Every structure is written in C-alpha cells, then in structure tokens.
Structure 1
Amino acid sequence: MTATTPMPLKYLQAYPEGLQDHVRQLISQDRLTDYLQQRYPDRHEIQSDKALYAYALALKQEYLRNAPNIDKVLFDNRLDLTHRALGLHTTVSRVQGGKLKSKKEIRVAALFKDAAPQFLKMIVVHELAHFKESDHNKAFYQLCEHMQPGYHQLEFDLRIYLTWRDMQTAGR
C-alpha cells in the first residue's frame, strides 16, 4: 500500500474512516492479536451440533418464547466468508400428508467452533432475531441488543476478528 492509499479492511468498510484508521494502526503496530486476546481471551466449549442446538434453544426460550420452534441448529462447513454468511436462518417448507409443514433452521459457520463465546452468542442471537424481524431494521437491532447487551460493539469486534483471521491465513 502506498502512503496515500489506506489498507482496505473488507469487513469494516461500512464503519467510519476513523474507526478503520484505528484498526489499521493496531495492525501496523502488530497489536491486533493483543487487542483481541485482551477483550476475548476465552474460547467456548460448544463443539457439536447437539450442543449448539441446546444453546440456541436456551436463548430462544429466554428471549423469544413466542417465536416459532427451532427444528435444527448446526455448524456448517459450507458457510464461509466467500459467501458472505457467518450464519443463516432458513425456513424449509414441505408437504407432508396433505399439510404444509415448515421447519426453522439455523446454520452457523464452522469457523465459530474456535471463537470466543461472545462471538458465537452474537451470531446465534442475530439468527434468532430473524425469527421475529426478517429485515436488518431498527427493530431487528433493538432485539439483538436486548438479547445481547453490547451487540453493536461485539459485531464490530467480530469484524476485527475476521480481519485478524484473514491475516493469519495469509501468513502475515
């Protein structure tokens, strides 16, 4: 990069330039790992689809009792950043015996098996919120914030984590 062209931060493009500059400074000072380690030192212990289902169901029961039931929750190896999806919520509709049955599913990118517990919760909260609000609107983000206080900071830090992760795989 030249002095006039700042390093692109693909996960942070929607954020103000000042925040992006702060992250660039952390990178240039080789302090991004320290930043993440200080804020998120732990890794969660949820490693199976069964445990992830129980985790998502407990969050749903606590915050969204009237939302539709969750039929399936799993870590998905096919979800990755190239598809711009960290998690998905889907409704699968099938005809069974003359009746239309719909099943609600949540898929979480497998890369979150090794993430901080706050990041996993943020992704699950985000996908659960879609059961009530389909669009990323004010009500959606208010619901996310209700289920996980500090949601917006976690979303920002998750994007920093993804930037860090890309740097690790690029061998920097």
Structure 2
Amino acid sequence: MNPLKYLGGYPPAVLDKARQLIDRDELGDYLARRHPGRHAIQNDKALYAYVNALRQEHLRHAPGIDRVWYDSKLDVIGRALGLHTAISHVHGGRLKARKEIRIAALFRDTAPEFLEMIVVHELAHLKEAEHNKQFYQLCEYMQPDYHQQEFDLRLHLTWRDVLASRAA
C-alpha cells in the first residue's frame, strides 16, 4: 500500500516531511492541533442548508441545488470525496435538470474546514466544470485558505489509511 497516495504531485520535501510525521507517529497529533473541532452538520437536511447558505453567500447567480446528501458509498468508489451531478429527464414534454451534490459520509466526522473545503470544491463545479485556473481561483474566493485545507485534508486521508493498515 502506498501511504502517500493522496499526496501525489507534491514536492519531494513535502512528501519527506509527511513520511517523517508518519514514521514518528506524529501525524495524528499534528492534525489534531491544526483541526481540533468537529462540525455539527450530521444529517442531510442540515447539509443541504449549509451548502445552500454557502452558495447564496458566494454564488448567488449559480443554479440552485435540488438535493444534497451524505453518501456512504462515495468514499469507496474511485476515491471520490464529493460529487456533483446534473440529472436530466423529460417531464411533461420538457427537459428538466436536477443539480445534486453528494458528499462522502466520512465528512460527518471531520473538522469543519474539511467539510467546507469539499463543499466549496463541489459548488465551484457549478461555474467551472474543469479543474482549471479559474476553478481554483473560485475555490480560493469562497475559502481563502482552500489550498492549505485541501492539503490538510489529504494528510487526514493519509492518516486514516495509516490507521486502517495498522488495524489490519
């Protein structure tokens, strides 16, 4: 198992630092210091309200979201942590599109910054389909420390894998 699979693309110095934290069994403590709290958004209704509030605050002219929910299967399918979909169907001779956002259930028990980061990421897809410069600028606009939170989330996922491998 590659313990740093979530950190691909980062410079070797960053990867070495992450390996050192893992080897010294300090990564969990590091993350606990940086992100000590857990959010209170535990059900789909609260998640929908949270996502919609962020959309209203930052993307007023973006299309509305029809459904938002925690998806327990999302974590294991292709390592996706969030997913946005536009489902089109014919209804009474008209084509209707429903916009949906699914958030991996693992985010029920994470720091509020991680939930915000994944929601911001999925909301940015309402305006920008691709992961391009404009997409990441939009993410930074909605969450000014987006890149740091994404990195910390990747460290959190790495720590989860380390713990799982030790338990096995």
TM-score by length of 1: 0.94
The reply to whether residue 25 of structure 1 matches residue 25 of structure 2 is: no
Output the CA distance in 1 between the equivalents of 2:37 and 2:139: 22
Unpaired runs of 5+ residues, structure 1, are 1-6
CA RMSD of aligned residues (A): 1.3
Alpha-carbon deviation of 1:171?
A: 2.3
Output the CA distance in 1 between the equivalents of 2:25 and 2:164: 16
* Number of residue pairs the alignment of both structures matches: 167
Alpha-carbon deviation of 1:141?
A: 0.2
Residues 75-154 of structure 1 aligned to structure 2 (within 5 Å): 75-154=70-149
Q: 1:34 aligns with which of 20, 24, 29?
A: 29
Q: 2:58 aligns with which of 63, 67, 75?
A: 63
Off by >6 Å, runs of 4+ in structure 1: none
State the percentage of identical aligned residues.
64
Higher RCO (CA-CA < 8 Å; seq separation 6+): 2
Unpaired runs of 5+ residues, structure 2, are none
Give 1:44's aligned amino acid: H
Pair 57,42 (structure 1): closer, same or farther in 2 beyond 3 Å: same
Output the CA distance in 2 between the equivalents of 1:8 and 1:36: 16
Output the CA distance in 1 between the equivalents of 2:110 and 2:36: 10
SS at match of 2:9: coil
Alpha-carbon deviation of 1:102?
A: 0.3
Output the CA distance in 1 between the equivalents of 2:68 and 2:93: 26
SS at match of 1:108: strand
